[in-house]
Amino acid sequence: ASMSHELRTPLNAVIGYSQLLLDDADDDGDEALSRDVQKIHTAGAQLLGLVDDILDFSRIEAGKMPVQAQPDSLSHGVGALIADLQTAGLERNYSIEVALPKDDVELRLDWQALGKAIGHLVNGVTTEGPGGLVRMDVSHEPTGNLVIRVVDPAGQAGATDDASLFDAFAAASDASATKYGGAGISLALSLKFAQLIGGDVTATRGADSRRVFTLTVPADAEPDTLRAAA
């Protein structure tokens, strides 16, 4: 908590004061100043997001991220998470097409952690590129697992080993800061949040050489069976 406060306080000041300057520039009709201040505001918000991501990563690594399973229907629970992602995706010219199973089912899991896992996964595959369509397929397996598959919209994957994509701050060109999320942490965090609730995220190659990311979590687990990642 102390570390979070020390990091967030100055960043919140930068974001807050830059917003005031931005409002003043807009009121004065100073377009050049508005563009410059907008860059400061955007950079501050991005850095704050990165700080939050690193703190989340550290909490999970230390086993200090709480897990709270709650019941909800698949259609409502997943639908609410996707609605939030749709809003964020539109800012980067991406839309999300979701295929849900015909039969609804009651699930019990940590929806907030699942949302983080899906959000970081989608953020990872949409960081680079001019925009487009993200296809997501959702299914509930007979084993009780909730499975979410996301196809990389960027095109054919490079030669980078699929497993290395989930290494935090990976340096390989195909898993770089410009390809799979922010500073190379989005996919790593997606995996960490999935593991937090007993799940996993993997990457494979489809028939057209695009990467297919598969997020799998045990959707019917009771709270005492959910564990933090080792």
Residues 195, 187: Cα–Cα separation, whole Å:
12
Burial readout 28-66 (b: 16 or more C-beta within 10 A, e: otherwise): eeeeeebeebbebbeebeeebeeeebbbbbebbeeeebe
Query: 73 has which bridge partners?
Result: 106
- Higher-confidence residue of 166 and 31: namely 31
User: 103-117, 128-142, 181-195 — which one is most confidently predicted on average?
Assistant: 103-117
Tens of pLDDT, residues 45-87: 888 888 888 889 989 998 999 999 999 999 999 999 998 888 7
For 181, residues 6+ apart whose C-beta sits below 8 A from its C-beta are 120, 123, 124, 125, 127, 187
Reply yes or no on whether the pLDDT at 91 is more than 50.
Answer: yes
Q: Which range among 1-10, 69-78, 221-230 shows the weakest confidence by mean pLDDT?
A: 221-230
For the segment 124-151, the average pLDDT, to the nearest whole number, is: 84
Picking from 131, 125, 130, the residue whose alpha carbon sits closest to that of residue 94 is 131
State the Cα–Cα distance between residues 194 and 218, nearest whole angstrom.
10
Per-residue pLDDT tens over the stretch 113-127: 999 999 999 888 876
pLDDT bin (cut points 50, 70, 90) of residue 107 is: very high
Which pLDDT value is given to residue 173?
44
The whole-number pLDDT of residue 114 equals: 96
Where helices occur in the chain by DSSP H, the ranges are 2-28, 31-61, 74-90, 111-125, 186-196
Of all residues in the chain, what percent carry a pLDDT higher than 70? Answer: 80
Check whether 109 has a pLDDT greater than 90. Answer: yes
